[in-house]
Amino acid sequence: MDDFIDGLSEVACDVLVIGGGTAGPMAALKAKQKNPALNVVLLEKANVKRSGAISMGMDGLNNAVVPGYATPEQYTKEITIANDGIVDQAPVFKYASRCYDIIQELDRFGIRFQRNANGDYDLKKVHHLGTYVLPMPNGETVKKALYRQLKRERILISNRFMATRLLTAKDGRIAGAVAVNTRTSEFLVLRAKAVILCMGAAGRLGLPHSGYLFGTYENPTNSGDGYAMAYHAGAALANLECYQINPLIKDYNGPACAYVAGPFGAYTANSEGKRFIESDYWSGQMMQEFYNELQSGKGPVFLKLNHLHPDTVGEIADILHRVERPSRGRFHTARGTDYRETMIEMHISEIGFCSGHSASGVFVDEYARTTVPGLYAAGDMASVPHNYMLGAFTNGAVAGEHAAEAAQETDLPDYDPDVVRFERTRVLAPTRREDGIPPNQLEYKVRRLVNDYLQPPKVTSRMRIGQQRLAEARQDLETALVARNPHELMRSLEVSSILDCADMAAHASLYRTESRWGLYHNRIDHPEKDDENWCCHALLRKVDGRMISEKRAIQPYIVPIETEERTAYERLRVSNQA
Amino acid sequence: MPLALSPTAIPVIVDEAKCIADKGCTVCVDVCPLDVLRISDLTGKAYMKFDECWYCMPCETDCPTGAVTVNIPYLLR
Ligand SMILES: Cc1cc2nc3c(=O)[nH]c(=O)nc-3n(C[C@H](O)[C@H](O)[C@H](O)COP(=O)(O)OP(=O)(O)OC[C@H]3O[C@@H](n4cnc5c(N)ncnc54)[C@H](O)[C@@H]3O)c2cc1C
Ligand code: SF4
Ligand code: SF4
């Protein structure tokens, strides 16, 4: 382990799924179930047993559309409003209609969901308008349950392989991917008839205040490789300027977490212990109010539990310290923070791209198809907004089924061997240098530039300077980056994705000359929302080697939104405080 | 540019008396998402090789002998 091995092998499959976190395992399962004769490969940078955002499980579904509580129409409406109208409703509606089946399927896998005395699912209200949060009492078992299913269906799993680039055929169809072993740097060319990207958020874009490169909110193996690969393959990416920014525990990179504690009576408060937002559901508008309060004389912001019965606090702590980000309990203990006594100080996270929480992702339709034929995307990196874990599962399923059908009708496309040769040279360049800049330093620099120049509130001239500084960093990446072992090479490749994402963030943010989505795209020098010119998607693509952005009309709504409903998320501030 | 090493206090500790890597166990190395753990050639025990931790805890949770402790990294303590 950790020594370079010179090698290149090639495998062919029908459906290649890249990323074995949440969406990926479900995509692989569904592709195989759709047609058991297909050869389905699941490729993962880490180890599927414990990879992705759900590595330690989750405490609940944030967006379950369950009959009796909400209809697909209501959910589609809420998500459209929460996203300031910039939504193609078909994929959201498809998710909302399908997710109840997936909940029942997960239930059959052995994952339990909270039920009331009548035995019905017991949902909680956290969103501004509807009721969608479903707790998972044995949430820590999610990954195990999924893994059992993968084994049962005999999915071929390749762990510790990092995908670096996609391969396309002459006619533009997807042909496969190139991957590198993270412990030996051996190359693997995977030819495929259909490829599903499930590589999660771009979670290592901004730099956390702690200074730890890996102290991100998102699982840090999600370094934006999926975004970068889709970009280089020519796929369109949607609304990247709609960043992900989350309210977190100050210094600790986990959510505070109002979704769990809220239904028990906890809430987000200012230093006076007063509520200042109507809804703790994460939206750009909510983040703007959160930011305003942080900056005000009533800051900082806290999660308030100390008014609850001690037993209730104990129940909440039991959930929060067992799943998702279980080291949170240790963090608070070390600081001497007792939830029963003191409020929990909160802050805002670094920026990232993520559709799971926001709306920045590879552009997909209701079948999870990207704009490249044969290429699919699901989960946090696909453009279906506010999709969360159940969205990753559901749209992973949709992608798997559709890709299986597509693979059945296609012959294995040819790829250009020169592209693989070129990619090997690009990937291995940092290993050919004796000395230079190590990946951790280049990464630190790029991400500090992201914080200094691209983080909202966004300012045009500042972002332009940021672009220049990022171009200098790219020069360093291409001429001076050094990797002394396969592990450092993986980190070097991640820096390359991070830099691509930083460039995309700047480009996308400069393109949309208005403010929208609250804090996510708050442009100080274009402060107003401009529906006349910008009530549309902004799609970013690589054309002839250059980054371009263009407008794309929103599909006509299938669930109409009344004029007075449109602004519901703009009225989040508690009114007696305004 | 030549490279130098700078020291860093690491968050993940392995109790060598409990670790059974010398009997073939590699569980923590296998599950760590960031791939920062290794078995030492010198001691035959698991250790944290790279300070790139998400303090996510699969290593501690899955270790069959309870040898691993994940501490909160110093800078955010
Ligand atoms: C701390 C936290 C708390 C959350 N809480 C909740 C909650 O309570 N409820 C809820 O519904 N949602 C929650 N979410 C959101 C939810 O977990 C995600 O939306 C969902 O899990 C995303 O799934 P995914 O498949 O897109 O990404 P992931 O599950 O992160 O999987 C991506 C996978 O791709 C792999 N990968 C990345 N790059 C490469 C590459 N180059 N080659 C190969 N593999 C690669 C990664 O290693 C990873 O395993 C939370 C998220 C986080 C981070
Ligand atoms: S899992 Fe535990 S016993 Fe096994 S190698 Fe790691 S520390 Fe040692
Ligand atoms: S806490 Fe997570 S990242 Fe850190 S060593 Fe353990 S498994 Fe790896």
Per-residue buried b or exposed e for A460-499, using 16+ beta carbons within 10 Å of the residue's own CB: eebbeebbebbeebbebbeeebbbbbbbbbbbbbbbbbbb
Query: Are A33 and A74 contained in the same domain?
Result: yes
Query: Are A86 and A202 contained in the same domain?
Result: yes
Indicate which residue's Cα is closest to atom 3 of ligand 2: B19
A540 alpha carbon – ligand 3 mean position (Å) = 35
A308 alpha carbon – ligand 1 mean position (Å) = 32
B37 alpha carbon – ligand 3 mean position (Å) = 8
Contact with chain A for residue B2, Cβ under 8 A: yes
CATH of the domain at A533: 1.20.58.100
Mind listing the pLDDT tens digit for each residue in A136-186? 999 999 999 999 999 999 999 999 999 999 999 999 999 999 999 999 999
Query: Are A256 and A334 contained in the same domain?
Result: yes
Three-state SS string over A388-426 comes to HHHHHHHHHHHHHHHHHHHHHCCCCCCCCHHHHHHHHHH
CA-B11 nearest atom, ligand 3: 4
**In chain B, which residues have their Cβ closer than 8 Å to the Cβ of A327?**
55-57, 70, 72
Residues with beta carbon inside 6 Å of ligand 3? Answer: B 12, 32-34, 36-37, 53-59, 70
Sign of the torsion angle spanned by Cα atoms A441, A442, A446, A452? positive
**In chain B, which residues have their Cβ closer than 8 Å to the Cβ of A51?**
33
Query: Are A521 and A406 contained in the same domain?
Result: no
B62 alpha carbon – ligand 2 mean position (Å) = 8
Contact A212 B35 (CB under 8 A): no
Query: Are A370 and A463 contained in the same domain?
Result: no
Region of A106 please: left (phi>0), alpha (psi -120 to 50) or beta. Answer: alpha
pLDDT band at A576 (very low <50, low <70, confident <90, very high): low
Query: Are A407 and A516 contained in the same domain?
Result: no
Contact A330 B70 (CB under 8 A): yes
**Greatest extent of chain A over all pairs of C-alpha atoms, in Å:** 68
Which of A519, A105, A566 lies closest to A291, judged by CA?
A: A519
A56, A183, A213: residue with CB nearest B52:
A213
Query: Are A47 and A95 contained in the same domain?
Result: yes
Number of domains in chain A: 3
CB A234 within 8 A of CB A172: yes
What domains are there in chain B, each with its CATH number? 19-71 (3.30.70.20)
CATH of the domain at A195: 3.50.50.60
For the segment A244-255, the average pLDDT, to the nearest whole number, is: 95
Q: How far is A255 from chain B (nearest CA, A)?
A: 13
Query: Are A314 and A389 contained in the same domain?
Result: no
For the segment A559-574, the average pLDDT, to the nearest whole number, is: 88
Does this model's pTM top 0.90? My answer is yes
**In chain B, which residues have their Cβ closer than 8 Å to the Cβ of A221?**
33-34
Segment holding A68, helix H or strand E: none
Q: Is residue A501 part of a domain?
A: yes
What span, in angstroms and rounded, lies between the C-alpha atoms of A353 and A454?
13
A111 alpha carbon – ligand 3 mean position (Å) = 24
Position of tokens 């958020």?
A201
For the segment A3-13, the average pLDDT, to the nearest whole number, is: 96
Domain span at residue A516 reads 426-540
Contact B33 A46 (CB under 8 A): yes
Query: Are A162 and A133 contained in the same domain?
Result: yes
**In chain A, which residues have their Cβ closer than 8 Å to the Cβ of B33?**
46-47, 50-52, 55, 219-221
Residue type, A269: A
Contact with chain B for residue A321, Cβ under 8 A: no
Residue of B nearest to A484 (CA): B3
The predicted structure's pLDDT at residue A128: 87
> Which tokens go with A277?
């937002």
Mind listing the pLDDT tens digit for each residue in A527-553? 999 999 999 999 999 999 999 999 999
Interface pTM (ipTM) of the complex? Answer: 0.98
A29 alpha carbon – ligand 1 mean position (Å) = 17
A50, A327, A437: residue with CB nearest B31:
A50
What span, in angstroms and rounded, lies between the C-alpha atoms of A544 and A304?
53
Contact with chain A for residue B64, Cβ under 8 A: no
Mind listing the pLDDT tens digit for each residue in A365-394? 999 999 999 999 999 999 999 999 999 999
Q: Is residue A577 part of a domain?
A: no
> Which tokens go with A74?
């209501």
Contact with chain B for residue A199, Cβ under 8 A: no
Contact B33 A482 (CB under 8 A): no
Q: Which A positions 90-119 lie with beta carbon below 8 A of chain B?
A: none
Q: Is residue A550 part of a domain?
A: no
**Residues 6 or more apart in contact with residue A49 via CB below 8 angstroms:** A143, A147, B30, B31
Contact A490 B35 (CB under 8 A): yes
pLDDT band at A578 (very low <50, low <70, confident <90, very high): very low
Query: Are A383 and A525 contained in the same domain?
Result: no
Lowest mean pLDDT among A139-148, A244-253, A443-452, A557-566: A557-566
**In chain B, which residues have their Cβ closer than 8 Å to the Cβ of A55?**
33, 56, 58
What pLDDT tens digit does each residue of chain B (77 aa) get?
889 988 999 999 999 999 999 999 999 999 999 999 999 999 999 999 999 999 999 999 999 999 999 999 999 99
